[in-house]
A and B are shown apart, each in its own frame.
Chain A
């Protein structure tokens, strides 16, 4: 069945270092992938999305590229900021919606 896997439950890193949060998926249908970010005591909101194979999409300093060959949609940023500390969800849309378990990113000074 369809699913989304985020392998890291918690990622802790120092400000200024690069960020990479992993997301892989499984589906036999159309591929629409999303990253949502949830800051503390706030609602999740869209960070970026893609349905185009091998095309980089960017927003607010983050970027991700959908690779259908490896069923991946990893989230990256070149330099972490303290304000990036949040919970990040990867999600797959086809006729239904599937969320990964989320990755808590903690950025320390």
Chain B
């Protein structure tokens, strides 16, 4: 099956803990993304990454960091979570040309207590 896979589906943690989310795509794409979808359903791009370049949204707090082992994997680490980090984190991938659509994973719902 070719798709974008994310683990875990849900994660509940306490303020100050470190969390990591995994994303894998089997579509042969060369570019991957992390988005944050907040309670108002706003979709905010956090990072985009291909095997050449990492682009960081300058509004993303430094406790967030992407980690990639190859072009099929892009993980997200949050060093010390805060309550405002509660959201759904969506991973997406695409081919790096302007008319290419993005394919989204099912998301990881993070709840910070």
Neighbouring B residues of A36 by C-beta, 8 Å: 102
Within the complex, what minimum Cβ distance (angstroms) separates B10 from chain A?
Answer: 12
How many A-B contacts if CB must be within 8 Å?
A: 44
Within the complex, what minimum Cβ distance (angstroms) separates B37 from chain A?
Answer: 9
Interface size on A, as a range, is 20 to 34
Contact A51 B42 (CB under 8 A): no
Interface size on B, as a range, is 10 to 19
A55 interface contact, C-beta 8 A: no
Contact B98 A43 (CB under 8 A): no
Given A51-B99, A93-B99, A97-B102; A43-B41 close (CB under 8 Å): no
Neighbouring B residues of A43 by C-beta, 8 Å: 4, 90, 104-107
Binary B-proximity of A39-60 (CB < 8 A = 1, otherwise 0): 0001111100101000000000
Contact B90 A94 (CB under 8 A): no
Contact A93 B41 (CB under 8 A): no
Given A32-B98, A32-B99, A97-B48; A45-B41 close (CB under 8 Å): no
Minimal Cβ-Cβ distance residue in B for A99: B43
Within the complex, what minimum Cβ distance (angstroms) separates A47 from chain B?
Answer: 10
The docked-state distance in angstroms from the alpha carbon of A19 to that of B53 is 40
Q: What is A's interface to B at a CB cutoff of 8 Å?
A: 30, 32, 34, 36, 42-46, 49, 51, 87, 89, 93-97, 99, 101-102, 104
**Interface CB pairs A-B, < 8 A, 28:** A30-B98, A32-B99, A34-B101, A36-B102, A42-B106, A43-B90, A43-B104, A43-B107, A44-B43, A45-B103, A45-B104, A46-B101, A46-B102, A49-B99, A49-B101, A93-B98, A93-B99, A93-B100, A95-B98, A96-B48, A97-B33, A97-B48, A97-B102, A99-B43, A99-B45, A101-B42, A102-B41, A102-B43
Seed contacts A97-B45, A99-B43, A102-B43; 19 additional CB < 8 Å A-B pairs: A32-B98, A32-B99, A34-B101, A43-B90, A44-B43, A44-B102, A44-B104, A45-B103, A45-B104, A46-B101, A46-B102, A49-B99, A49-B101, A51-B99, A87-B41, A89-B43, A93-B98, A102-B42, A104-B41
